[in-house]
Amino acid sequence: MDAAQVKALATELETTLGLLGDLITELQSQNKEWQGSGRIAELVNRLAGQPNLAELPAVLLRAHAEISLVLGGIRLTRESIEAHAVERIRDTKDKLSDVTSTTESATIELMNGLDRSLELINTLEAQANGTAPSGGFESLRRQVSTLYNHLQFQDITAQQLQGVGAALLDLETRVSAVAALFDSALGHGPRAELLRRAVDASSAHLPFNPDATMKRSQTDQAAIDEAFKGARNGNASDPGCAVPGART
């Protein structure tokens, strides 16, 4: 109902009350016998004794003005959520994707450099023709191989960032759902169901593992080997994590 409709209703009510007042006065003045007898006389006297009824139209108009103010505030809040929270979440997700592609490109360049270093080591060893101790070249190759191996960080951090991205996507959906609740208050749409969406705890079906970590040791692989052996031997009932500290 808009302001014009509320005003029309208030005017109608005011007119009706005015007519009612006139009716009461008319009835009271008509036949004095009516005043003392029966239900009609009682009703007329009760109606005549309602001092605040005349205020009702003005009260309605004031209430409508206040509700309009509140709705205006809700509309601004909804727009603010959309403009600031949701947009910023999207920007952050985009930035995380940028970080992943940048680190991937940089890692590949590092690998290219390490490959060239290995070729150089081979060339130098061939040129040395046995005059230099071969242990030195082998040691260099091992160093390069170790460096190569450390670049696994890129895959692991990319998975962690994908996990963060997925969490942001979930957050964006839920914030949008909260904003949509305001739409419902403004009378624009159905109530959002997304707030009640359950969170899927398993990442087995996802293209990334949000729990990926660089913090691994020989002990962790040994624990995995034990668990693998146990699983192959049918120890399915043993609960718990394969690696201490790993999330289930």
Partner 1 sequence: MKCLVVDDSATMRRIVVNALKSIGYDNVVEAGDGSDAMHKCDASIELVITDWNMPVMGGLDFVKGVRANAQHAKTPILMVTTRSVKEDIMQAVEAGVSGYILKPFTPQVLKEKIDQILSLTSGPA
Residues making contact with partner 1 (CB under 8 A): 104, 107-108, 111, 145, 148-156, 158-159, 203-209, 211-214, 216, 220-221, 224-225, 227-228, 231-232, 236, 238-243, 246-248
**Are the beta carbons of 178 and 80 closer than 8 angstroms?**
no
What tokens does 135 get?
């242990």
Shortest distance, CB of residue 199 to partner 1, whole angstroms?
18
If you write DSSP's letter for every residue of 139-167 in order, what string do you get? HHHHHHHHHHHHTTHHHHHHHHHHHHHHH
166-202 burial, b at 16+ Cβ within 10 Å, e below that, comes to bebeeebeebbbbbbbbbeeeeeeeebeeeeeeeeee
Q: Which is nearer to partner 1, 61 or 147 (CB)?
A: 147
Q: Which is nearer to partner 1, 71 or 242 (CB)?
A: 242
Other CB atoms within 10 A of residue 44 CB: 18
Q: Which is nearer to partner 1, 55 or 211 (CB)?
A: 211
Shortest distance, CB of residue 178 to partner 1, whole angstroms?
30
Q: Which is nearer to partner 1, 4 or 236 (CB)?
A: 236
Shortest distance, CB of residue 89 to partner 1, whole angstroms?
23
Shortest distance, CB of residue 224 to partner 1, whole angstroms?
5
Q: Which is nearer to partner 1, 63 or 106 (CB)?
A: 106
Nearest partner of 225 among 244, 247, 243, 246, judged by Cα: 243
What tokens does 99 get?
């970080």
What is the rounded radius of gyration, in angstroms, for the C-alpha atoms of the chain?
Answer: 39
- Amino acid residing at 58: A
Q: Which is nearer to partner 1, 173 or 203 (CB)?
A: 203
Query: Which alpha helices (H) appear in 186-217, and where do they start and end?
Result: none
Shortest distance, CB of residue 238 to partner 1, whole angstroms?
7
Shortest distance, CB of residue 125 to partner 1, whole angstroms?
16
Shortest distance, CB of residue 92 to partner 1, whole angstroms?
22
Q: Which is nearer to partner 1, 25 or 152 (CB)?
A: 152
Q: How far apart are CA 43 and CA 196, in angstroms?
A: 53
Q: How far apart are CA 141 and CA 110, in angstroms?
A: 15
